[in-house]
A and B are shown apart, each in its own frame.
Chain A
Amino acid sequence: MVETGHFALVLAFALSLVQTFVPLFGARLNNQRLMAVGGPVAVTGFALTALSFAALASAYASSDFSVASVWENSHSLQPLIYKITGTWGNHEGSMLLWVLILTFFGALVAAFGSNLPATLRANVLAVQGAIGAAFFLFILATSNPFIRLNPAPIEGRDLNPILQDLGLAIHPPFLYLGYVGFSICFSFSVAALIEGRIDASWARWVRPWTLVAWMFLTGGIAMGSYWAYYELGWGGFWFWDPVENASFMPWLAGTALLHSAIVMEKRSALKIWTLLLAILTFSLSLLGTFLVRSGVLTSVHAFATDPTRGVFILCILTLFIGGSLALFALRASRLTAGGLFHPISREGALVLNNLFLTTATATVLVGTLYPLAVEAFSADKISVGAPFFNLTFGPLMVPLLLVVPFGPLLAWKRGDVFAVAQRLMVAFAAALLATLVTALFIDGASVFAALGVGLAVWLILGALTDLAVKSGVGNVAARIMVKRLLGLPRSVFGTAFAHLGLGLTTLGIVGTLCFGTEKILSMHAGETVELSGHTLRFVGLYPAQGPNYAEDRGRFELIGVSGSPVGEISSAKRFYPVRQMTTTESGIRTIGFSQLYISLGDEGKDGSVVVRLWWKPLVTLIWGGGLMMMAGAAMSLMDRRLRVGAPSRRRKQASAVTSAGLP
């Protein structure tokens, strides 16, 4: 099975070369038969990669330690779920997942792209094939997951205990679906540059892909953040770690792309910019892959450091980023510019959004790469942490968030900012009220905290105002209003949901950072501690045995108002003997949108235990907002307008079914 997987991988590499060159020449020669090769080859390549991945996963599931990668990252005593997720919990396997998703997206274009112009489709598949070829070669040459060991070891070296968590089942696949999803936008852009023209179908295709990629990337980042929050026991949700930034930069650029693609689709303006942004977004995804996989950064994500891998990815990076930008420089002037618009208009607002987001991306990029540059050119080693990003990223985000509610309410082409301001009066008044109430009635609230709460309320109500205005609240009878609301295009809901999610995340961040409390103390069994109105009693430490670890579980009781326990929270220190490694399992209890968070420290000589407690108000909203943004993207994807092929085959159907009756 393992050799079958290895063979399938080599075959997939060969096919990716075919996919690169045959359709490309076909498009140049305008030869239909050569161009038609791309589709079946892309689908077959995906099938082979899937076979290869399945072979590796089955080696992991059956603990076949004759495979080096399995030996290094698995253990026979691990629960089955972690054996399987361990397939991508290491460098080799995660790269295989990367190409699996890449070929999957390529196959989707091949399968559903029948209504694309033939040459565009051929060129897109060719570019997609070229990216695939580079990464297949990378895997086969430097990171082959199928290398055998002889003699086979009896037992494996276990998966890094931090990764033995359900988070590993969700975070990397989602993140990669996002990262790699942008490759389609990239391929479409490069294909458009090769052809030297962008037509209507280009925009209709790129926007849904951006939405899909963005949706998964949002989920991947949110999941990663929550995972780090509960797994590391530090109680933080974002550390401005270079590896986090590596995923955050494509997200920021992707968000900009999402918005500029709207302008392009609706008004056929900003074509060249959208194209450049698509190239940059995927370039940042590649850069992220390089930063994380090359070992230039040390973190839990850098599974192994091997200089040849770093150099190889750097070459891929240079080839694709340099190549596509060079092509852009050569060909961009051939593309025709689009429609005109007044600066104060929906288009203008979206341009402003793009300016903010790309500048913010640039500051994150500088903060991430600056330490590497300094280290390369001098002996100094520096770190750029949260204070830097708070000072640069923060001031760029606040004005952006302030103007977000205006965008969707402005008209296309020429907007009236005063009319929009009038419509937002209610939201503005409520936000002002929230600011004042926070400042006056909540103890210990700083001016910043109060303004932060006001900003979040402004965003949330601003998003709802958009829906209210578009369904005619106040102007028409309630029955008609509901009918209008349900009749609104899905993409309007998508926008409102995503902006609402942004407001929720902001509220969660402000709540946690400004109103959270923390206590570090050493406790004996039976002692109680109070934190922000919650009383906790330390019951004691209890040893327990897991499948591949031993743990000391510290149990705490939450004492209610009556003095009797109303719930239990437990936090544990786990010891994994194979890797001689200890991890902390944090204890979390969710109360409303807030959480009590307990992290167990070391045991003292007198039997006391160091305990760190946090009260994190509204913290769940941080990730809840992320889910809301995903829901917004999903809503937009369901919009009738975006369904590819809708104009041709489904027109009759679509007019028969009202949008309210759609599933």
Chain B
Amino acid sequence: MTRKQKRLSVIAGGLAFLGAATGLTFYALGQKASYFYMPVDLTTASVMPGQRIRLGGLVEKGTIQRGQGAMVGFSVTDTHKSVKVTYTGILPDLFREEQGVITEGTFGPDGVFVADSVLAKHDERYMPKEVADGLKAKGVWQESKSE
């Protein structure tokens, strides 16, 4: 093989790789990226039962209920609207009433959000960024809460 042919074959191989990877990437991004919603967004957005989304907001006061075994129910609110969530498992250490939380999962046919993961903010100083931005956008955010 001449140098030119060798170089061409390397470039062709590289392009084939990139092509395959790009195809996979686009396919995966279309399928596997999950969108973030606040409860009030759900009135306008169409979210199918079974479609994977992330739902964020504050844990509504007085709604945490322990079910059988490790099942927990609570409501996520943005103060305009709230959504019932169920979760089976251990809640994060920082999960508390009126604290920011992000849940990930799907809506069941009964309109209850079945979460398979619940993330609470990492420490005292901040909320999950999406929740903070969302609350700010909806005018619920008080700067005092961020400190």
Interface positions of A (Cβ within 8 A of B): 160, 162, 233, 298-300, 304-305, 337, 340-343, 351-352, 355-356, 359-360, 362-363, 366-367, 370-371, 380-385, 387-388, 391-392, 395-396, 520-522, 573, 579-584, 599-602, 604-605, 610, 612
Contacts and interface: CB of A to CB of B under 8 A. Distances in A.
B25 A522 contact: no
A160 B90 contact: no
Interface in B100-147: 104, 122-126, 128-130, 133-134
A308 to B, nearest CB: 18
Contacts of A304: 125
Given A298-B126, A602-B90, A385 B3 contact: no
A75 to B, nearest CB: 14
B112 to A, nearest CB: 19
Nearest to A296: B129
Contact of A388 (B28, B69, B126, B134): B28
A362 B21 contact: yes
A518 B9 CA distance: 49
Contact of B70 (A370, A391, A520, A583): A520
Nearest 8 CB-CB pairs, A to B? A601-B90, A381-B36, A387-B32, A391-B28, A582-B93, A388-B32, A298-B129, A520-B70
5 contacts: A362-B21, A370-B29, A522-B70, A602-B90, A612-B89
A371 B130 CA distance: 12
B32 A351 contact: no
A381 B128 CA distance: 12
Interface in B4-34: 6, 9-10, 13-14, 17-18, 20-21, 24-25, 27-29, 31-34
Contacts of A522: 69-70
Nearest to B16: A355
B10 A351 contact: yes
A575 B17 CA distance: 51
Contacts, number: 125
A520 B69 contact: yes
Contacts of B40: none
Given A298-B129, A355-B17, A581-B124, A383 B24 contact: no
B147 to A, nearest CB: 12
B28 A340 contact: no
Contacts of A385: 32, 34
Interface of B: 1, 3, 6, 9-10, 13-14, 17-18, 20-21, 24-25, 27-29, 31-36, 54, 66, 69-70, 88-91, 93-94, 104, 122-126, 128-130, 133-134
Contacts of A391: 24, 27-28, 31-32
Given A363-B24, A363-B25, A388-B33, A583 B17 contact: no
B90 A599 contact: yes
A610 B90 contact: yes
Contacts of A299: 122
Contacts of B91: 601-602
Nearest to B128: A298
Given A382-B35, A382-B36, A610-B70, A520 B89 contact: yes
A417 B27 CA distance: 34
A600 B134 CA distance: 32
B3 to A, nearest CB: 6
Given A355-B13, A581-B93, A382 B18 contact: no
B90 A359 contact: no
B3 A392 contact: no
A271 to B, nearest CB: 13
Contact of B21 (A337, A359, A371, A584): A359
A355 B88 CA distance: 43
A392 B28 contact: yes
A359 B33 contact: no
A112 B142 CA distance: 57
Contact of B25 (A162, A351, A392, A604): A392
B33 A383 contact: yes
A579 B1 CA distance: 67
Which of B17, B35, B128 counts the most chain A CB atoms within 10 A?
Answer: B17
Given A300-B122, A363-B25, A387-B32, A521 B129 contact: no
A554 to B, nearest CB: 12
